Amino acid sequence: MYETIGLWVAAILTLAVFSFLYKENPLYRFAEHVVVGSSLGYTIVITYQRVLYPRLVEPVFLHGESLVLIVPAMLGLLYVTRFFPRIAWLSRYPMAFLLGMGMGMAFPYDMQAYILRQIQATLIPLYTPGAPWYNTLGAVVIVLGTLAGLIYFFFSKPHKGPFFGFGSKVGIWIIMIGFGATFGFTVMGRISLLIGRVQFLLSDWLGLLH
């Protein structure tokens, strides 16, 4: 009984969202508000059940352990001061903490993963005796493509002349070819999502497909 109701609600909401393809209409607006409201309510419950309760309420208030957790809890509570204009400035402390922590954690990680690791992946032999010709071609494209891409992202030099002018042109071509491949790959993934939704309507809801 409940499953059938759920199935009908899901199917009607799917069609309501699809109706946006025609134009914005009250049915879409209804579905939009339902999904926004329910997702927010769901998030609040999940956050309490999976984060606040097991990580703060249970250890600190029920078992009296890990009292150090009160410090981040107080820091989090400072966000609530935004509701009180006179002390709203206190909410900047957790923001500053998060920004500083985010930057501090990201810098060494990015240095490792996006700079050193990428340099290492580019320092490859251009020619290996006995290897097929396309391996050499691939290695040359990787190395020269990386150099050209870096030239394109040089902001403090005008993109003119044989090095920066030609290099940046090659760089943007390499970047665009890469984007083209990514585009095709992702579109394939999106189409499979659409197929999944159509299958739900035709199979689960209408029972036309088995």
Partner 1 sequence: MRNTTERRFMLKHLELLLLMVLLPFGIAQAQEVGPQDATAPAVDSSNPSDSSAVSLDTALEVVPPVEIAPPGAVTVSDFPNDAGDHLLVSFEPSPDEALGILVYRIYRRTPGATDGTEEWAVVKTVAAGDHTEIVDGYDPDYLVTQGTQYEYRVAAVTADCREIPGEVTVAQVVGRGEWFHTEKLKVLIGCIIFISLIFYYFKRAQMCHELYLRPIPGIDAIDEAIGRATEMGKPILYVPGLSGIEDVATIASLTILNRVAKKVAEYQTPLRVPNRDPIVYTVAEESVKQAYMEAGRPDSYEANSVFFVTDSQFAYVAAVNGLMTREKPATNFYLGMFWAESLLLAETGSLSGAIQIAGTDAITQLPFFITTCDYTLIGEELYAASAYLGREPKQVGSVKGQDACKGIVMTLVTVGIILSLVDIFTGGATDPSKSLLLKLQGLVDVTSLE
φ, ψ for residue 11, nearest 5 deg: -65, -45
The identity of residue 137, as a single letter, is L
Is 150 a binding residue for partner 1 by CB under 8 A? The answer is yes
Q: How far is the CB of 19 from partner 1 (least distance, A)?
A: 12
95 binds partner 1 (CB under 8 A): yes
Tokens for 27, please give them: 């049915």
Please identify, using beta-carbon distances, which residue of 53 and 164 lies nearer to partner 1.
164
Q: Which residues contact 20 (CB under 8 A, 6 or more apart)?
A: 28
Among 36, 52, 141, 198, binds partner 1 (CB under 8 A): 36
- Letters for 62-91 (x = contact with partner 1 by CB under 8 A, - = none) are -----------------x--x--------x
**Of the two residues 196 and 207, which places its CB atom closer to partner 1 in the complex?**
196
d(CA 69, CA 56): 7
* Minimum distance, C-beta of residue 64 to partner 1, in the bound complex (Å): 20
Instruction: Quote the CA–CA distance of 179 and 168 in Å, as a whole number.
Output: 16
Minimum CB distance to partner 1, residue 179 (Å): 4
Query: Which of 2, 134, 153, 196 is in the footprint of partner 1 by CB under 8 A?
Result: 153
Residue 137 as a binder of partner 1 (CB under 8 A): the answer is: no
Instruction: Give one word for 154, left, alpha or beta, with left for phi > 0 and alpha for psi -120 to 50.
Output: beta
Geometric angle at alpha carbon 157, from 112 and 165, rounded to 5°: 100
Question: How does DSSP assign 54-78, residue by residue?
Answer: IIIIIIIIIS---GGGHHHHHHHHG
Q: How far apart are CA 177 and CA 149, in angstroms?
A: 12
User: Given the rule CB under 8 A, which residues bind partner 1?
Assistant: 17, 20, 23-24, 28-29, 31-32, 35-36, 38-40, 42-43, 79, 82, 91-92, 94-95, 98-99, 101-103, 105-108, 110-112, 115-120, 122-129, 143, 146-147, 150-151, 153-159, 175-176, 178-180, 182-183, 186, 190
